Structure formats: C-alpha cells, structure tokens
Amino acid sequence: MDGGSGPGPEPVTAAGPSPAPELPPEADPDVEPLPRGGFRCRLCQVAAANRPSLAEHLRGKKHQRLRSLRAERRAQEQRSLFVSGFARGTAAEELAAYFGAFGEVAAVVMDKEKGAYAIVELREAASRERALAQPQHALAGRSLRVRPREQKDFARPSPGRGARREPLGAGQLEQALCQAADVDAQMEQLVGLLELSEGERRLRHLLVTLFQEVFSEFFPGCAVLPFGSSVNGFDAHGCDLDLLLDLEPTKSLQTSARGAPGAGSSGDPGAEESILSDIDLASASPPEVLELVAAVLRRCVPGVRRVRAVPTARRPVVKFSHKQSGLAGDISIDNRLALHNTQFLRLCGEADKRVRPLVYAVRLWAKQQGLAGNPAGGGPLLTNYALTLLVLFFLQTRSPLVLPTVARLRELAGDEDRVVVAGWDCSFPRDAALLEPSANSESPSSLLAEFFRVFGDFDFSGQVVSLREGRALPLPEVGEPFKLGSLNLQDPFELSHNVAANVNEKTASRLGRCCRAAAKYCRSLQYCRKSTKGRGWGLARLFQPGAVEPGAGAGSFLISIPLAATRPPEQLCEEPGGCGFKEICAAIAFVLRDVLQCGCAPGKPQKQVGGSGAEQSLPEDPALGEEPRGDAAGLEEEPLQPPVGSKRPQPDGTDSAALPGAKRPRVNGPEEEEVAASWSCAVWHRVWTGRRRLRRQLLHGASPEEPDGDPLELEQKVSEAIVQHEGAARPPEPLLRFEASARLAGGTQREPRVLLRLAPSPAPGPLFRDFFHFLQAFLPSALRRHLGWGPGAAPQS
C-alpha cells in the first residue's frame, strides 16, 4: 500500500478554495521531501525539483482544486452516517424518511448489491449529531446500528482510464525490453513495466478501506492490515491482496464488555443483533473465527465473490476475489509475523537501488521457467517470498556485501524497533536511512549473472540458507523442528520454519539446472550486447521459456520430457522392444496430430553434430556439470547454437519407415551424428484455450456406463470440440507454424529425457508463446498416458 497517501491535517469546515499557505511550502502537510532537494505533493502525486517549483505547484489551480475537493469530501463525511441492521429490501426512501426526523437528508446511498448497509448524508453536521445522540434506533421492527461514517483518506480522482495501466503481454514486454540500451537499463525498465501503477495502488487502498469499514461494524476496534507483495516493494500487476484482520482489540473490548455489570455484550446498542453477539472471540477456535469472517465477507462486502475459508493451511485464511477489480485476496487472522517480514522485505528493497531490479528479474525468470508460482494450496514450486529471500541472501553474501545480515540489522535497531512476535525477534530498523550504504559497486546485470552462477552450483539439500547469519549453515546447526527438505531456506525471523519446505527434489534440481543454463547464457554476447538485428537479447531472451536451456538456439523453444527413471537412455536405444526413442517420437507425433489436431508432417531427417550417441551422458549439455567449451574469455558468441543440438539438413534424406525424419541411434564418439526426429507442424485452431471447461462439460455429459474412458480420448474430444466451435473448416492459413525436432539427452547418472525443440516461423509472437506454455505442461503428461508409464496426471491446460 502506498504509505504516502495520508493527506495530513486538513481544515474540514470550509468547502471553498483555501488561501495560499503562508508557511514555507515544504511545511505543507501534503508535501514530503525527496532526495536531492526535491519534493513530492502527495495530494496531487506530483514531484517538484526544488522549493520554487513546489511553491508554484501549491499555488496552482490543480492543487487548489484538489484541496477544495478534499475539504468538501471531508465535510460530507462529517455529515454522514453509516447505517446497518435494516431488513433486506428496505428502500432508500424509508431510511430518508426515518432520518429526516433529525434534520434534512441530503442523500441516501444504499449498498446495492447486498442491501446490508447504507450511507445517510444529512445537510447539517448538527443533524447527524442529534441522530448519533439517540441511544436506540429502530425501523420496521428492527433495531438499526447507526455510526459516524468512517473518515477515509482522500483518494485523488482518477484522471481517466489511462491511469490504470493494463498488464503487458509477453510480446509487448519483450519488445519494450529490446529497446533499452543495455541490461542494466532493461532491469530498471522491467520494474517500471511490472510494478503497480498509482491507480492500481489507489484501488487496493480503497478496497482495504472498504474492508475496514465493514469489518469495524462487526468486529469493533479491529484493524485490516495489508501485507505481502501489495506493500513489500515487490508488487506486480495482478498480485494478490494479502490482508491480516487483527481481532485482538475486538477480543479485549468484548472481554471487558462481558465483564461489565449488566452488559450482555459489547455494550453497544444493537449489539445483541450483531453477528458477534453469541460468539466469544477469545475462546472461539480458528475455524469458527474464519467462518465468521467468511460470513461477513459473503454477506456484507459488495463485489466480493468466491469466499472460502481454508482452515487447514499453515496460516489459516479466508480466500476471496473481488469482482470489479478482478483482484484475488486472502484474509488471515493469525499472521503477525508476516507483517514484520513484509517490512523487512520493504526495508531491503529501499536499502539499495539494485535490490528491486534484481528481485523482479529473478522472479520473472523463475516464473517463465516454471520454477516459481503461487500454486493455490501449495505445490512443489518456489513461492515468490522464498525466491525473494534467496535473492536477499545472495546479496548478503557478496563481497563487499550489498545487504546486511538480519543479525546485523538487529544490532542497528533502535528501541522503538525492538519487537518480539510469537517468541521470534523481529527487531530491525524500519527506516532504510539508518543503514550503512553498501561499498559494493557491482552492476545489477552482473549481480544477476552472479546470482545464477552461485545458485547453479549450490548444494540446496545439504545446507541451510540463513539470512539471519548471511551464510549457509551445515545441517546439524539447525535442529528440530526445522523441516529439512530438498531446499532449505530458513525464515529470517521464524527460525524453525523452512520457507521452501514445499519444494520437491525435482524442482530443486531443476532450479540448479536452470541457474546453470542461465549463468552460461549470461556469459554470452547475446546477454551483454544489444542485438542490432532485432533479435531477443539480454533479459528478453533470458525470459523466453526454454530459450536459454542447453540445446535451444536463437528463436527456438525447448520442452524437456523427463523419462521414467527405470528407462535409462541405453534401454531407450535398444531396438526392437522396450519403449525406445522411436516409440517416444511416434507418441509425440500422435499427441500433436491426433490429440491436438495439429498438422504434423515428417520433416527432413536430422543429424546432430558434436553430440553424443544416445548412450553418452550429455556432453552436449554443458550446463549439466561441465564448463562450456570455448568460453575461456568469459564470453561466447553463440553459446546456444551449434555444436549443441544443432539442426542441419541430412544430405542423403534417408527416412526410417517407422519414423520418418528419424535416424537410427548410433554409438558415436563426439562430433558424430546422433539420432533425431523432426516434423513440420501447423496449428490451425486455438486448441489450448478453454480446455478445462470443455473437459468438465464432456465429463458431465458422459453416460454413466462410460465415465472412466481413456483420458487421451477425452483430450481428443476436447480438441475436436474446440475445432467445431471455431467453425470446423480450416482457416486459409494456420495460426502457427513451427519445426519440431526431438533428441535424447541425459545419461546413466543424470535424469534421462527427450528434448523437443520447437522453432517457430516466422519469429514467435505472443500466440506462439501461449501455445508453447500449454504444450510444455500438456505434452509430458499426455506422453506418459499414451506410453503407459505409470498413472501420470491427466493432461492439464
């Protein structure tokens, strides 16, 4: 949340323009100083370079108009009542007639959606006082709750739709990044492209205010406190809204009211009607309180949808979404530690200007690689919180260090910053100005490259990442109840908590592998130098899913299909029998052609140079352990090009009958040919959109005798339904064209897999990327199904 949105003291009686301030302009409560002698007017969201231009702004029409508007709103609020407790369906006129007894009513605004409350605006503040002075109110036999309307921070009226920036599509992001002068500029730009706009921040602020207003009705004294990415400095378009509902003050009020002689409840008139009247918050169980919170959200907050309590989460929450803003959110009732780790993240982001660009770059990279996300209800991926901690840890371990350790921060904390929450010391300075500036002068782009190098070579399961100490701790140093796993990342405050306990072995090893591939890419000229030929370079290419995996070339995308551990490459090459490479290639063609209804013609046979025979263990995959060849100088012209997985036309054009486009595997030394298969593919319909819904419909429509059909048959029907829906007839041109080629990778000691390379033509746009993302998830599980390798999940899309 924008901490700077508070309007400061404001005269509320005068509705007309206020006289120009006579105090020095910087003494104006709307003004905050900026570094280097600048100022910001919080009211107008305008920066001024110096005092004279600030004074000019404060005298200007725009500022005066907003001051006047704010004063008017304040006055209006002071004449308004917040009324609830009336029967559903009560008309605004009935309320106007009722409150008319206290003075003239200017307006009644009903909560249209739920009819749970109304704002009644009276003409005179004195009328409101009369209404508030009356101890009991009743309308049509129901007792009304009547309160002063809450004073909101004044939100500058939106200048129009332009203020709400639309999230950029992948293609636009790439284009924008490619315009930058160098990678440092790309990183800076990335932050600007992803962070919340002022309008989005305001919207979140308004929502929090709405929640506060409604919850205060039911839980007197409660506080709604935002935490997480909306306020920790690492916000991005569409990030969720994490809220803590602090009920401690309500519990105290309730306890003291119950203890008071003659008081049956909070002592509040009408409280016997309150949702709280028969619940003692202090003794209620967390699931009971969550249900109560969920009930208030469902019944009383306009626009709130899909409310569900999740009492089993490590930190129980109520999830919701908000219709008008499209935001998803969580309300927790017991996560005070998160308020502090949020402030810690914010402090780190403010401590050094390289932190935010680095975190944004790593987050987007990890998301694009399918390493991080925020799977609802858990999952084996890293959370954004865990990733951010990894970046902060990395910065604590640079020499000279970029960020201090948490232990050092504790030493720097003043008395007012000393906090212990649930037994954990959360003391650190809340103000970044109290930190020593870093002596480290590395550029953001070289820090990013170093991040990949460090974590490409990191023993995730054999040690514990400690931000408190700024070093990796040996396992025995972290005792019970810390849950050791494949990635051990100690929370900076709750030291017994492994923030990455959900990350499984596969994700942890993929993280290492992707870091190695990215580190290698960062040593290439394509990373360091702006492309003069309009190709993706720097961050733009780093973010392309699969583009910097070993084996992918410029403009091509790689899908890695892990094979069952019981089938090492030696067996895959045995012919006939077993599930050989040919069979896998045939299955790939089957999924593309028959299941997804794509055009898939055998392409020219491929040969690869410099690779191994399938039996060999990935000499073509330098990111898996070996240092890349030919980069002694630290830079490689085309590290992702030949000899790694290069695609050259086969001179003789020999086709295998069973698998056109494939050559038989041979046990070759380096620099000889290896097996590969290729296809020319065309996608005619958007077979990747709306599959989930169609799948559900088809399953519901299935007759009871055939509910458990072949899952791939179902997928086939889903594709057919999409084709039908789009008008069955083929469009004159396919939506997408690409060349696909498959090869084996992995040896006996490493995870064997088939690498499927897609080379779109023309250059990939957002549509191809959508298709690629879909296929990346869909193909491996569809192949598992088709080849009968264990149960395998139903293909997801």
Question: Hey, what are 224's tokens?
Answer: 């709604």
Taking the complex as a whole, the smallest distance from the CB of residue 335 to Mg ion amounts, in Å, to 12
- 3-state SS of 637-706 is CCCCCCCCCCCEECCCCCCCCCCCCCCCCCCCCCCECCCCEEEEEEECCCCCCCHHHHHHHHHHHCCCCC
Among 28, 184, 188, 242, binds ligand ATP (CB under 6 A): 242
Contact between 492 and ligand ATP per CB under 6 A: no
Contact between 338 and ligand ATP per CB under 6 A: yes
Taking the complex as a whole, the smallest distance from the CB of residue 288 to ligand ATP amounts, in Å, to 23
Which residue type sits at 721? A
Taking the complex as a whole, the smallest distance from the CB of residue 332 to ligand ATP amounts, in Å, to 8
Non-local (6+) Cβ contacts of 597 within 8 A are: 684, 685, 687, 719, 720, 723
Taking the complex as a whole, the smallest distance from the CB of residue 487 to ligand ATP amounts, in Å, to 12
Taking the complex as a whole, the smallest distance from the CB of residue 348 to ligand ATP amounts, in Å, to 12
Taking the complex as a whole, the smallest distance from the CB of residue 234 to ligand ATP amounts, in Å, to 6
Sheet-wide strand order for 471-474: 471-474, 463-466, 489-490
DSSP H/E element including 388? helix 384-396
Taking the complex as a whole, the smallest distance from the CB of residue 539 to Mg ion amounts, in Å, to 23
The CA distance from 315 to 283, in Å, is 18
Cα 6 to Cα 27, 60, 70, 305, 306, distances in angstroms: 15, 21, 12, 29, 31
Q: Among residues 409 and 503, whose Cβ is nearest to Mg ion?
A: 503
Q: Among residues 97 and 376, whose Cβ is nearest to ligand ATP?
A: 376
Binding site for Mg ion (CB under 5 A): 228-229, 240, 242
Axis-axis angle for helices 505-522, 355-368 (nearest 10): 120
Q: Return the range that interacts with ligand ATP (CB under 6 A); candidates 73-81, 334-342, 571-579, 668-676.
A: 334-342
Contact between 385 and ligand ATP per CB under 6 A: yes
Q: Among residues 120 and 231, whose Cβ is nearest to ligand ATP?
A: 231
Taking the complex as a whole, the smallest distance from the CB of residue 506 to ligand ATP amounts, in Å, to 20
Taking the complex as a whole, the smallest distance from the CB of residue 384 to ligand ATP amounts, in Å, to 4
Residue 240 in contact with residue 328, Cβ under 8 Å?
Answer: yes
- Binding partner of 587, given ligand ATP, Mg ion, none, CB within 5-8 angstroms per partner class: none
Q: Which residue of this chain has its Cβ atom nearest to ligand ATP in the complex? A: 228
Q: Among residues 226 and 711, whose Cβ is nearest to Mg ion?
A: 226
Contact between 228 and ligand ATP per CB under 6 A: yes
Contact between 232 and ligand ATP per CB under 6 A: yes
Taking the complex as a whole, the smallest distance from the CB of residue 240 to Mg ion amounts, in Å, to 4
The CA distance from 648 to 609, in Å, is 9
The CA distance from 175 to 192, in Å, is 14
Taking the complex as a whole, the smallest distance from the CB of residue 384 to Mg ion amounts, in Å, to 7
- Binding partner of 491, given Mg ion, ligand ATP, none, CB within 5-8 angstroms per partner class: ligand ATP
Taking the complex as a whole, the smallest distance from the CB of residue 338 to ligand ATP amounts, in Å, to 4
Non-local (6+) Cβ contacts of 20 within 8 A are: 58, 59
Cis upstream peptide for 404 (omega within 30°): no
Among 343, 383, 438, 608, binds ligand ATP (CB under 6 A): 383
The number of residues that bind ligand ATP (CB under 6 A) is 18
Strand, coil or helix: 216: helix
- Binding partner of 463, given Mg ion, ligand ATP, none, CB within 5-8 angstroms per partner class: none
Site for ligand ATP in 702-761 (CB under 6 A): none
Task: Give Cα 19 distance to the centre of its chain.
Answer: 46
> Does the CA dihedral 270-273-277-278 come out positive or negative?
positive
Axis-axis angle for helices 355-368, 444-456 (nearest 10): 50
Q: Among residues 359 and 598, whose Cβ is nearest to ligand ATP?
A: 359
Q: Among residues 119 and 239, whose Cβ is nearest to ligand ATP?
A: 239
Radius of gyration of the chain (CA): 31
Task: Label the pairing between strands 328-332 and 241-246.
Answer: parallel
Among 39, 102, 218, 227, binds ligand ATP (CB under 6 A): 227
Q: Among residues 317 and 742, whose Cβ is nearest to ligand ATP?
A: 317
Q: Among residues 260 and 376, whose Cβ is nearest to Mg ion?
A: 376
Contact between 488 and ligand ATP per CB under 6 A: no
Q: Return the range that interacts with ligand ATP (CB under 6 A); candidates 10-18, 90-98, 231-239, 653-661.
A: 231-239
- Binding partner of 738, given ligand ATP, Mg ion, none, CB within 5-8 angstroms per partner class: none
Taking the complex as a whole, the smallest distance from the CB of residue 473 to ligand ATP amounts, in Å, to 18
Q: Among residues 325 and 374, whose Cβ is nearest to ligand ATP?
A: 374
Contact between 499 and ligand ATP per CB under 6 A: yes
Among 341, 405, 466, 678, binds ligand ATP (CB under 6 A): 341
Residue 191 in contact with residue 359, Cβ under 8 Å?
Answer: no
Q: Among residues 236 and 758, whose Cβ is nearest to ligand ATP?
A: 236
Contact between 200 and ligand ATP per CB under 6 A: no
Task: Label the pairing between strands 105-110 and 31-33.
Answer: unpaired
CA dihedral 393, 373, 737, 761 (to 10 degrees): -20
CB atoms within 10 A of CB 101: 11
Residue 57 in contact with residue 63, Cβ under 8 Å?
Answer: yes
Which is nearest to 515 in space by CA: 419, 433, 438, 451?
A: 451
Contact between 490 and ligand ATP per CB under 6 A: no
Question: Hey, what are 581's tokens?
Answer: 């490479």
Binding site for ligand ATP (CB under 6 A): 227-229, 232, 236, 239-240, 242, 338, 341-342, 374, 383-385, 491, 497, 499
